[in-house]
Amino acid sequence: MSRIKALIKKEIFLFIAAALACASMSVVPPDMEYFSYMDYSVLGLLFCLMTVVAGLRQLGIFGYLSQRLLIRTKNVKLLTILLISIVFFCSMFITNDVALIMFVPITLDIFAHSKRRWLISIIVMETLAANLGGMLTPIGNPQNLYVYSFYRLDMLSFFQYVLPIGAVSYGMLIGLTLFSKDSRIDIALEPEIELSGLTKPLLYYIILFLICIATVLRFLDYKICVLIILAATFIADKKLLAKVDYGLLLTFVCFFVFVGNLERIDAIKNALSLFLKGRVFIVSVLSSQIISNVPSAMMISRFTTDIHPLLLGVNVGGLGTPVASLASLISFKLYSRSEGSAPGKYLGVFTVYNLTFLLLLSAIVMLIAP
């Protein structure tokens, strides 16, 4: 029984997602259409990224980067600003998921030998930064790419929609950090990590990572990416495949099943049609809290031509609950698997920060958006 409790605690979101999927299956019995629910490109790319990041981590690159940051930035406030800024701007080009997969492990390494009282708030801030920074480009968040393609937007229109709120959100992130308490990171660094002798392996994994980024940017088909990463991993170190977080992949699968079934329930579609007129932003925000922002964008887009409130709604709506943006699950999973983690406390801090940003940004959107 203790093992079962430990497993549930470790994979809490997987169990929640599985329960929701099973509940929806009682209304929509399994059939061949279930296979169409899956976003195989998301699953494949996530698998590839986790594999490559595991290889980079094994080389000690994250420890090296964390040391570089600590040597130059031993002040908590300055370090926080640096981390959230990097995540915010990187997420515009490498997606919010990838930014968190890259930088949350670095943050965990930074605090591995230090007091961890800042760790939760910093990772939560990084998660906010990834979701808000990804808002600013069509490729930053997956719902952006969908809306951009579905409505055949041009780049100028897209930026006109998102840039004002994106700028305000970055200012809020920096302002919150500046007004927070400051402290030094009193940490005894281990002997400096050197990358000498690792040039070729590092270059190998960097090339694989760039292949993943090319897939994110849709220059390369995800199937080709998966085949390349699998082949390269078997050649370099097939043990890395055991370090992939398959629980996270299964969590995504369960959410895809749940959301796919919801889309086939007429009552939900009819309710959306009824309430959407003049309420696209609010409905987008609220539905994102339950079924996440990507499926919300896909569902609501079929019943409205109000692009501006929909685009802002599914981006601002990525804040709030942990399932509002599936990228938030990545941060939680990475943190909860670290030594000395406190998942309950993390969720508490996550909820306070996210609801605060959600309410403030929603109010701003309703005041300034046409």
Q: Identify the pLDDT of residue 219.
A: 85
Angle formed by the axes of helices 199-216 and 76-110, nearest 10°: 110
Q: In the structure, what pLDDT confidence band is assigned to residue 195 with cuts at 50, 70 and 90?
A: low
CA 243 – CA 235 distance, rounded (Å) = 16
Q: Identify the pLDDT of residue 229.
A: 93
**Is the confidence at residue 362, as pLDDT, over 90?**
yes
Q: In the structure, what pLDDT confidence band is assigned to residue 43 with cuts at 50, 70 and 90?
A: confident
CA 121 – CA 133 distance, rounded (Å) = 18
Predicted confidence (pLDDT) per residue in 199-244, tens digit:
778 888 889 989 988 887 778 888 999 999 999 999 888 888 888 8
Helix (H, G, I), strand (E, B) or coil at 12: helix
Query: What's the rounded mean pLDDT across residues 273-278?
Result: 75
What is the signed CA dihedral for 151, 164, 118, 111, rounded to 10 degrees?
60
Query: What's the rounded mean pLDDT across residues 243-264?
Result: 82
C-beta of residue 70 within 8 angstroms of C-beta of residue 110: yes
Q: Identify the pLDDT of residue 197.
A: 61
**Span of 98-107, 176-185, 212-221, 347-356 with lowest mean pLDDT:** 176-185
Q: In the structure, what pLDDT confidence band is assigned to residue 355 with cuts at 50, 70 and 90?
A: very high
Q: Identify the pLDDT of residue 183.
A: 67
CA 86 – CA 254 distance, rounded (Å) = 31
**Span of 30-34, 136-140, 312-316 with lowest mean pLDDT:** 136-140
Q: Identify the pLDDT of residue 156.
A: 86
**Is the confidence at residue 318, as pLDDT, over 70?**
yes
Mean pLDDT over all residues of the chain?
A: 83
Q: Identify the pLDDT of residue 185.
A: 63
**Is the confidence at residue 285, as pLDDT, over 60?**
yes
Q: Identify the pLDDT of residue 360.
A: 95
Q: Identify the pLDDT of residue 320.
A: 92
More confident residue, 210 or 2: 210
Please state the separation of Cα 65 from the chain's center in Å.
21
**Is the confidence at residue 63, as pLDDT, over 80?**
no
CA 279 – CA 81 distance, rounded (Å) = 35
**Span of 5-14, 85-94, 345-354 with lowest mean pLDDT:** 5-14
**Span of 46-60, 154-168, 181-195, 346-360 with lowest mean pLDDT:** 181-195
C-beta of residue 315 within 8 angstroms of C-beta of residue 162: yes
Q: Identify the pLDDT of residue 304.
A: 80
CA 107 – CA 105 distance, rounded (Å) = 5
Helix (H, G, I), strand (E, B) or coil at 197: coil
Q: Identify the pLDDT of residue 166.
A: 92
CA 240 – CA 262 distance, rounded (Å) = 36
Nearest C-alpha neighbor of 269 from the set 237, 291, 242: 291
What is the token pair recorded at 59? 């080389």
DSSP state, 306? -
**Is the confidence at residue 2, as pLDDT, over 70?**
no
Predicted confidence (pLDDT) per residue in 132-146, tens digit:
999 998 878 888 877
Looking at the chain, the whole-number percentage of residues with pLDDT higher than 70 is 86
**Is the confidence at residue 52, as pLDDT, over 90?**
no
**Is the confidence at residue 190, as pLDDT, over 60?**
no
Predicted confidence (pLDDT) per residue in 115-132, tens digit:
567 888 999 999 999 999
Predicted confidence (pLDDT) per residue in 137-188, tens digit:
887 888 887 788 778 888 888 888 899 999 999 999 999 888 877 666 655 5
CA 242 – CA 170 distance, rounded (Å) = 37
CA 34 – CA 206 distance, rounded (Å) = 36
152: left (phi over 0), alpha (psi -120 to 50) or beta: left
Q: Identify the pLDDT of residue 204.
A: 87
Q: Identify the pLDDT of residue 370.
A: 57
